[in-house]
Chains A and B, each alone.
Chain A
Amino acid sequence: MAILVRLNGEQRELPDGLTVETLLGHLGVKATRVAVEVNEAVVTKDRYPVHRLSGGDSIEIVAFVGGG
């Protein structure tokens, strides 16, 4: 089974049953250097293992970049 989500603005198919934590693992992203928002609400780091993703979710994974 797969779910369809919007990830950083792009449609993407993900395995069903992922949490934020397993999504980051799936993408090869280090959790320490990103912040995650699902459906316009921040998911705090302590919630990564328990926040389950569903079809239709809009997910943003962000990091710090250079700026003024």
Chain B
Amino acid sequence: MTDTWSIGKYTFTSRLLVGTGKFPDFPTMQRAHLASEAEVVTVAVRRLDLAATGEASLLEWIPKHMTLLPNTAACFTADEAIRTARLGRELGLGDLVKLEVIGDPRTLFPDVVGLLEAARVLVKEGFTVLPYTNDDPVTARRLEEAGCAAIMPLGAPIGSGLGIRNPYNLRIIMESATIPVLVDAGVGTASDAAIALELGAVAVLMNSAIAGARDPVMMAAAMRDGVRAGRQAFLAGRIPMKLHAAASSPMSGLIGT
């Protein structure tokens, strides 16, 4: 049986979600997307540069089989996020939204009060809401109660590459939630992605770690494999951690005894 996961009416096989920001150029982005084997790709909504119409559009470089996940990045109020989500739906003709309400420009940590407010409105409007949130289990529960389709706690600040900083909180969120938990943001390298999946995350979302790597295409492939390895390790069930040794070779039958 194929190992799939679902949010709302969507079902996916790949557990890696990728972004479209900060790539050196569109051709590199496209090769990285294909190497990642991701099925979901985030995009941002911004004012059109009216002086530069007719330039190559981002959408032309996103492989057609990928599902668009518009975000509300850089929105600092619930109202801005709601308006941006509505425009994203109009642009992409899908109901998925990666909901971000940012509370602090330096850390880009979420404003969970605004996030909850925006989530409630957008759920009511029929959106499939994927909120980018803190690694706080209580906020996660509130977001689930608000009708979100998934919870996306951060591993570390956006673009920081610090990896999974609070695996214990993430585990608490995962064991409590009845909707998918995706780790969003903070991943720096393939082992971080593996850790997220080993912890039990349904999937992991990243942009900078791939786009900012020296070789984004090779890193995309590494992330694909890291996610796969982490998922398999999770399903296989790791051994418990012990303080002392537990020999793997027989302790009896040694020569000279």
Q: Given A28-B53, A65-B58, does the pair A35, B47 have CB atoms closer than 8 Å?
A: no
What residue of chain A has the Cβ atom nearest to residue B74's Cβ? A67
Kindly supply a per-residue 1/0 record for chain B positions 101-134, scoring 1 wherever the CB is within 8 Å of any chain A CB and 0 otherwise: 0000000000000000000000000000000000
What residue of chain A has the Cβ atom nearest to residue B23's Cβ? A66
- Is B21's CB within 8 Å of the partner chain A? yes
Query: Interface size class for chain B?
Result: 35 or more
Q: Given A27-B50, A37-B83, A68-B42, does the pair A63, B57 have CB atoms closer than 8 Å?
A: yes
- Residues in B whose Cβ lies below 8 Å from that of A68: 19-22, 42, 44, 71, 73, 158-159, 185, 205-208, 211
Q: Are B59 and A33 in contact (CB under 8 A)?
A: yes
- Is B90's CB within 8 Å of the partner chain A? yes
- Residues in A whose Cβ lies below 8 Å from that of B87: 35, 37, 42, 60, 62
Complex CA distance for A30 and B57, rounded to whole angstroms: 11
Kindly supply a per-residue 1/0 record for chain B positions 45-58, scoring 1 wherever the CB is within 8 Å of any chain A CB and 0 otherwise: 11110100110011
B25 to A: closest C-beta gap in Å: 11
Query: Interface size class for chain A?
Result: 20 to 34
Q: Are B21 and A35 in contact (CB under 8 A)?
A: no
Complex CA distance for A67 and B206, rounded to whole angstroms: 10
What residue of chain A has the Cβ atom nearest to residue B62's Cβ? A64
- Is A29's CB within 8 Å of the partner chain B? yes
Q: Find the residue from A33, A65, A66 having the highest chain B CB count within 10 A.
A: A66
B positions within 8 Å CB-CB of A: 19-23, 29, 42-48, 50, 53-54, 57-59, 68, 70-71, 73, 83, 86-88, 90-92, 158-159, 185, 205-208, 211
